[in-house]
Chains A and B, each alone.
Chain A
Amino acid sequence: MNKLACDVVVIGGGIAGIQASLDLANMNYKVILLDSGPSIGGKMILLSKTFPTLDCASCIATPRMAESTHHPNIKILTYLQIVSIDKHDSSFEIKILKKPRYVDESKCIGCGRCSEVCPVEVPNEYEGGLVPRKAIYIPFPNSLPNVALIDKENCIKCGACERVCPVKAIDRNQKQEEVLIEAKAVIIATGIDLIDYSKKIEYGGGKYVNVLSSYQFERILNATHPYGHILRPSDGKIPRNIGYVLCVGSRDLNWGVKYCSAVCCMYSIKHAIMALHHLHDAEITIYYMDIRTYGKGFEEFYNRAVKEGVKFVRGKVAKIEEDPETKDLFVYLENFDTGKVEIRRHDLVVLAVGIVPTINDSALFKAKLNVYGFIERKLIDVDPASTSIDGIFVAGTAAGPMDIPDTITSASAAAMKAALYIERKG
């Protein structure tokens, strides 16, 4: 078993984890950053732009990712599973299982030739399943480490990738590896997932191909454009008439979660503005219960959307039906302006799906979770970075829904608290 030691282990390599690692590393602490996925970057690196400034998300995230990769005080481990976290007096022992990528990380140069020749095509999870990827793949264009991996379940063992690899990086014989890390403090930054809306049968339960999650739409709008343009999945048509449904699963005791997901209103407005910029004369309607523009510049962003022609209709969408022929969609709602039930047709419907914590094993992370599964903060109003366990801190959306600026603030706070904790222990 491999053994490593450091000052702080950061679990989760989203923008929160990266920020916390950078802050600690710049204060001269040794950090090991762990991510269960094959690349760091989390949600943010996959976003199109950020509200309310419409800055390019990956342009902000990529330099930070790169900095953390090259920082002498940071070691990044990806594609792994946390096996256990144990606290001994003043230190933590974190056991991880590094999964085999079947590609030698130190050799691979990320040229992507292997995926070009791989004959197997399966849904690309990073593109929300909208387009295929190969059985050997680099997660996404600016992933870090920029290294391929083989998806064992779908590999047919033809060997094509190995034959073309210019640096002989492919190693189908790789084994999983256990690593034991000793650290003085831990930061949890495991981030968020989208609510599984297949439970909402009234919205087609995920069966209507032209009903997209906000994440999928985020990808369609992204500069790397999986479709090349804004098109709809059923037949590649340019959508002229898009419906946007807010509060899908959020604030919904019936099948979703009780809380407000905090970012959906704003990213929906962002999507609407971006889609209008691309599609010019398209009609984009946002169906909402409340527009929660609570932050700086948010209300102005909403006003801008109204001015640019985004339609806002108050009324929660109760039901979506699909025309089996054209795959067009009909949304049912009570329009509050008229008090009437309306059935409206759209080429494409996007669901602003609420967010839930990724953590599903409370015993593993030791720190107490709140009723929703987010890490419980010790004192939410005065000590938001501390958890129920001394020495374990929480950063970003692992503690609850928040946008990127709040995530970064929270990450820096966690880094600071971790540093103070280590100093105090001496």
Chain B
Amino acid sequence: MVRTNPNLIREIKKLGAFDITACYSCGECTAICPLSENNFELPRMMIRYSILGLEDKLLSSPQLWLCYYCGECSESCPRDADPGALMMAARRYSIIKYSLGGIARIFYSKIMSIVSLIVLSIIAGLGIYLFKESLDLTRFDPFSLLSYEFIHTAGLVLAVYIAVIALLQGIKMYNYIKHSALEGNLPAGTKVKNLIKSFFIVLFREALAEQRYSKCERQSRYVAHLAIFWGFILLFIATTLDYLKNSNILGLRESYEILKAIDIEIFGVLARIIGIIGGLIGVYGSIYFIYKRLIKDDVYSEYSHASDWVFLVLIFLVILTGFLIDIFIYTNMFLLAYAMFAAHLIFAFDLIVTAPFTKFAHFGYRLIAVWFYEYQKLKISK
């Protein structure tokens, strides 16, 4: 039996698919879509599901996440129904539905998301204020702002928090999309092999290179998207290196001979270089998207949901502050570096705590969907 949700289309329209009811189901969008493939057609089927209220069908469509909103469908739609916007709105809807207890709904309301971000920032700020140490202004030592133990524990707690929620939500999503698995059974050995193979395809082609994205027409957008991703990764590596250096390699350096042999300063130098590169490309990428969303000259950027702005601005602030820390250290302006560090921690805290419920979750859901898709493709290719 199929359950229908008569309010589905209304809710999805509210999430950004304003014109979709104009669709007369001609399929032009599906046929023009560069990512549409047999067994993984998009977007017309998703439009039908939404209009008919087939919520389960919609949420079980990995295709939602195979779309990158290049906008070609919207550009050729004879009804100006903006099918690309429907895909985007349906993803927003899925993020809400996949989230634990539907909590993500908060981040898809303008007021609620701003309020919750303010609350989170206050909590983070208060935390820093309460646990702060005495600043060492002769150099930049993060542990003179917050103690090593504090950062260590807070980091661990956040990491566990993210991992648990990501896992639970990932399972929830998988339970939905597994219904769209293709027919056919493979021997267990092949299954495992395919699972691993598709995992690596996803890791290298999708996660690290976003190859499917590059199939979308506009290369500049692909580059900017990749820039944000890699900016993020590089800044993360830089922070880790810094952290390793300042913690004397997790405090293990004293106890092991091999670690003693390493010149600890090299970590700092590497961190600076990687940090500056990461900061530059990350800032470039996020400014590109902010600019695009401001001038609205592309299909995908014509309409920006509040959640898009929150996400983009938060990312931008995290990258920018992270980048500025490096700059200020480099120019010996240590007080400013500490200020940036505090701001960076607050924004990063906001970003991480909300990540599983905001546009950030795209990343995870998309990887799961692409993994699923690659696996299914291996299944039929055999």
Tell whether any CB of A sits under 8 Å from a CB of B in the complex.
Answer: yes
- Is B44's beta carbon under 8 Å from chain A? yes
Among residues of A, the one whose C-beta sits closest to the C-beta of B77 is A254
User: In the complex, which residues 227-263 of chain A have their Cβ closer than 8 Å to any Cβ of chain B?
Assistant: 247, 251-254, 256
Could you say which residues of chain B place their CB within 8 Å of the CB of A332?
31-32
- Interface flags for B7-38 (1: CB within 8 Å of A; 0: not) read 00000000000000000101111111100111
Task: Give the Cβ gap from A195 to chain B, nearest Cβ, in Å.
Answer: 13
Are B31 and A315 interface neighbours, CB within 8 A? yes
- Known pairs A332-B31, A333-B27; list 9 more (Cβ under 8 Å): A247-B26, A253-B78, A254-B78, A256-B78, A315-B27, A316-B31, A318-B27, A334-B31, A341-B41
User: In the complex, which residues 314-342 of chain A have their Cβ closer than 8 Å to any Cβ of chain B?
Assistant: 315-319, 332-336, 339-341
Could you say which residues of chain A place their CB within 8 Å of the CB of B77?
254
A-B contact pairs, 29 of them (CB 8 A): A202-B76, A247-B26, A247-B78, A251-B24, A251-B78, A253-B78, A254-B78, A254-B80, A289-B24, A315-B27, A316-B26, A316-B27, A316-B28, A316-B78, A318-B28, A318-B29, A318-B30, A318-B31, A319-B32, A334-B27, A334-B28, A334-B36, A335-B27, A336-B27, A339-B41, A341-B30, A341-B33, A341-B37, A341-B41
CB contact between A253 and one of B26, B30, B38, B79 (< 8 Å): that residue: B79
- Is B327's beta carbon under 8 Å from chain A? no
- Is B45's beta carbon under 8 Å from chain A? yes
Task: Give the Cβ gap from A143 to chain B, nearest Cβ, in Å.
Answer: 37
Are A202 and B27 interface neighbours, CB within 8 A? no
Task: Give the Cβ gap from A133 to chain B, nearest Cβ, in Å.
Answer: 36
Are A253 and B80 interface neighbours, CB within 8 A? yes
Could you say which residues of chain A place their CB within 8 Å of the CB of B32?
202, 318-319, 332
- B-side interface residues, number (CB < 8 Å): 22
Known contacts: A251-B78, A254-B80. The answer to whether A317 contacts B24 by CB under 8 A is no
> 5 shortest A-B CB distances, which residue pairs?
A334-B27, A318-B31, A316-B26, A252-B78, A334-B30
Could you say which residues of chain B place their CB within 8 Å of the CB of A251?
24, 78
Could you say which residues of chain A place their CB within 8 Å of the CB of B29?
318
Task: Give the Cβ gap from A261 to chain B, nearest Cβ, in Å.
Answer: 13
- Interface flags for B61-86 (1: CB within 8 Å of A; 0: not) read 00000000000000111111000000
Most buried by B among A202, A253, A315, A334: A334
Could you say which residues of chain B place their CB within 8 Å of the CB of A317?
28, 31
Q: Tell me, in angstroms, the Cα distance from A319 to B76 when the chains sit together.
A: 10
Q: Tell me, in angstroms, the Cα distance from A68 to B364 when the chains sit together.
A: 76
Known contacts: A315-B26, A319-B32, A341-B36. The answer to whether A334 contacts B41 by CB under 8 A is yes
User: In the complex, which residues 280-323 of chain A have their Cβ closer than 8 Å to any Cβ of chain B?
Assistant: 289, 315-319
- Interface flags for A187-217 (1: CB within 8 Å of B; 0: not) read 0000000000000001000000000000000
Task: Give the Cβ gap from A213 to chain B, nearest Cβ, in Å.
Answer: 18
